[in-house]
Amino acid sequence: MKDAGNYIVPKLAKIPNCTEVTMAGKKLVFGKTIWQLEDSNHLLGDISALRRQMDSAGYLLLRGFFDPVLVGKARSEILDYMSSQNVLNRGQEAVTITQATASPNHHRLRFTHSVIQQLSGFLEVVNSRQILSFFDSFLGGPSMSLDHKWLRATPPGKNTGAHCDVVYMGAGTKELYTVWTALNNISLNMGPLAVCLDSHRHQKLRETYGASDAHEDLLEGYFSRDPYEIIEKLGFRWASTPFQAGDIVIFGVYLMHGSLDNLSDKFRLSCDTRYQLVDADVDWRHMGEHPDQIPKAKKRISIQDARANWGI
Ligand SMILES: O=C(O)CCC(=O)C(=O)O
């Protein structure tokens, strides 16, 4: 990202108004029901400005944050693993797999903690000095990453419903930040991350849904699968953008987000990893040798019942 002290910001064209995308099968239109995420690369090097931007916008989009060579190495490992699981269409690429094109009989692949431990190139990116140094200065002290890493190969046809991360990992500090990283180039029709602008400031949402725990209280952590329900009931505006491999979005635990539909024939490759101060409270469920095997309460309530109670 850095060249002789200057940050190189890849130029991505503005998304034309009226461009259509879908979320859970419902059409969203740029300029009408969805807007473009804005990058904060110009603020790099000014940590106070980055903090202010996080407070006001709720996210930081940093283009080209990770070294493309490191990301490329991580992606090759991931594609090799996916190929070994027979989910990729090899086409002409019998020797080296470079594309995440889905095979006709592909399925959703879960990257368990034990699989991830074997992906050293991937771990080199998400545990890199580069990202930890960023958080050391952003948080004002030594930082760490939760052991639980979410590596996603989102297949064609799928998307992620709207949720806030606090319901999944809110048992420690609330000064916990997600870094969502694009591991391949992700066009708008490959189901990129989508966030709800200003949702981190919705007090009632924070005090109700945002004060619950998906593992202990709720049947499912998604607040809704319907993008229009979010717009109409909460007044939020969706925002997204195409990504290039190595771009990141950083956001806090109260920002509502999900993803657009992957309408392509490729897997969307991304990961989301979490960072906090070493000295702050830790959600221990996401740490240790089995950080992805989180105990669930026996009797849980549904999000619908919970929302009816909260009146949102
Ligand atoms: O990548 C996705 O589809 C969802 C990502 C997400 O939920 C997160 O970063 O917390």
Strand partners, 197: 237
Which amino acid type is present at position 211? A
Residue 82 lies in a domain: no
Residue 3: its pLDDT value, please? 45
Is residue 89 domain-resident? no
Nearest to 99 by CA among 269, 230, 224, 256: 269
What b/e readout covers 80-102, taking b as 16+ CB neighbours within 10 angstroms?
Answer: ebbbeeebbbeeeeeeebebbbb
Over the chain (312 residues), what is each successive 10-residue block's mean pLDDT? 47 89 98 97 97 98 96 96 90 66 86 97 98 98 98 97 98 98 96 98 98 92 97 97 97 98 96 98 96 87 94 95
Q: Give domain status of residue 177, yes or no.
A: yes
Q: What is the pLDDT of residue 10?
A: 58
Q: How many domains, in total, are found in the chain?
A: 1
165 lines ligand 1 (CB under 6 A): yes
Query: What is the rounded CA–CA span in Å between residue 207 and residue 126?
Result: 31
Q: What is the dihedral of CA 242, 248, 253, 256, to 10 degrees?
A: 0
186 CA to centre of ligand 1 in angstroms: 14
Could you tell me if residue 75 is inside a domain?
no
Ligand 1 centroid to 160 CA: how many Å? 7
For atom 9 of ligand 1, the residue with the nearest CA is: 272
Report d(CA 296, CA 77) in Å as an integer.
32
Q: Is residue 290 part of a domain?
A: yes
Establish whether residue 272 lines the binding site of ligand 1, counting it when its CB lies within 6 angstroms of any ligand atom: yes
Whether the CB-CB separation of 213 and 167 falls below 8 Å is answered with: yes
| Contact criterion met (CB below 8 Å) for 297 and 215 | yes
**Within a domain: 81:** no
Ligand 1: centre distance to CA 278 (Å): 23
259 touches ligand 1 (CB under 6 Å): yes
Nearest CA to ligand 1 atom 1: 193
Instruction: Give me the pLDDT at residue 7, please.
Output: 46
Q: Note down the domain range covering 220.
A: 2-6+16-68+122-310
What CATH number has the domain bearing residue 187?
A: 2.60.120.620
pLDDT for the residue numbered 6:
42
Q: Does the residue 115 lie in any domain?
A: no
Structural domain contains residue 110: no
Q: In what order do the strands lie in the sheet with 257-259?
A: 34-36, 237-240, 193-197, 257-259
pLDDT confidence of residue 106: 84
